[in-house]
Amino acid sequence: MKLRLKLLGSLRAFLPAGAGFNTTTLDLTPATTLGMALQSLSIPQQSTYLVLLNGELIPDTAYPDTVLQEGDELTLFPPIKGG
């Protein structure tokens, strides 16, 4: 099962070699949950602030129960900094 992964801001450092500017394709097994997919990325949990699935904000309490589907788009945002 393939889905599109977008990593924004400082999270782009976690993209695999050969990925686009901020996008790559993940190849996952069917019935993979959002929580399982995030663990497989090896991104420290504190580095991810917001997670959108197909443009919809997913609360972290829903990660274990949210089953991903073929063609989904997962977008991760880092914590927002500024001054």
Considering the domain boundaries, does residue 41 fall inside one?
yes
Q: Which helix (H) or strand (E) holds 2?
A: strand 2-7
Tell which wins on pLDDT, 57 or 81: 57
- Measured in residues, the chain has a length of 83
Q: Does residue 27 form part of some domain?
A: yes
Q: Is the pLDDT of residue 44 over 90?
A: no
Assign residue 52 the CATH number of its domain: 3.10.20.30
**Residue 23: domain span:** 2-77
Q: How many domains does the chain have?
A: 1
pLDDT value at 72 more than 80: yes
In the structure, what pLDDT confidence band is assigned to residue 20 with cuts at 50, 70 and 90? confident
Nearest C-alpha neighbor of 5 from the set 44, 48, 53:
53
This prediction has a pTM of 0.89
Closest CA to 8 of 43, 32, 35, 60: 43
> Does the pLDDT value for residue 81 go beyond 80?
no
Instruction: State the Cα–Cα distance between residues 82 and 37, nearest whole angstrom.
Output: 29
Q: Is residue 82 one of the residues assigned to a domain?
A: no
